[in-house]
Structure 1
């Protein structure tokens, strides 16, 4: 066997070894790529989950604030004054035509003004923004307020305007931290007397 023939097996083995090495590199590279893709997908899924959770929490907060404002209106019109007082933070800003330093003061003075006279308050089309444990909102509003006949107010009123509110979450519950009422229009209405009240 000449020298050229003797080299053939050696050359063949070299080519096989090179091919095996290349295959190993390819397999290793593929595994690395697969691992990277898996990690990337996991990160993306985690990000989506966190985003979805934040969206759900925001919607829950908005609904809680809607319910809070609804309790505010209902407490006034149903004359649940003690409940009205509990809807505010300890040191709120309250400016609804008159200024009050607390929910308790608002409740007590509104009760004294209205007595048994009926009232109707509505808030709608809220624009609510939530920022962590604080929130703000603008509410369109309409109210109908009559005072007892013989009070210091000669007439009641039918008003239209908007509330600018801020809210604070304390121990997992939302409270009104400030409420400022701006009226766009006010029409006078007769004051209330028991004889003019609707019969039940």
Structure 2
């Protein structure tokens, strides 16, 4: 969940972690509970990551990067598509014929988003922000992920200040549900 380092290092480590989970999904031969558990694992990681980016990364982009609103809005739209897919996956039985196409679509959406962030957004952010600022953002991202929801909430606000106020409460409820159900 928390990898350390500045915001770019932290988020890139998250990207590699999600890619590893996707590789496990692609190599699975069975479905059932094993697949459900891995889908839940990737859901938890993607939701925490997205919430943290929406709370801290994209506001920093709006403040420091040229063409800031267009870039941040595009990234938030990417998150919205992913969150809707995660919600569909959450409702889909692991043995359902729709599971595989939904997972494929999720993997493609996330791969496109990761590529865009790593090749475009992160270099611009690195150029626009001091090392100290990037380090501070990394710490904020780690704290946000620790408090973030673990389940998709597509209707939840995705911009400050509402997302910073509501996400910890949703996270607490999600973690309680996860504990009771043994999820994650």
TM-score, structure 1 as length reference: 0.26
Higher relative contact order structure (alpha carbons within 8 Å, sequence separation ≥ 6): 2
Could you say which structure has the higher helix fraction? Answer: 2
Over alpha carbons, which structure has the higher Rg? 1
TM-score, structure 2 as length reference: 0.28
Could you say which structure has the higher strand fraction? Answer: 1
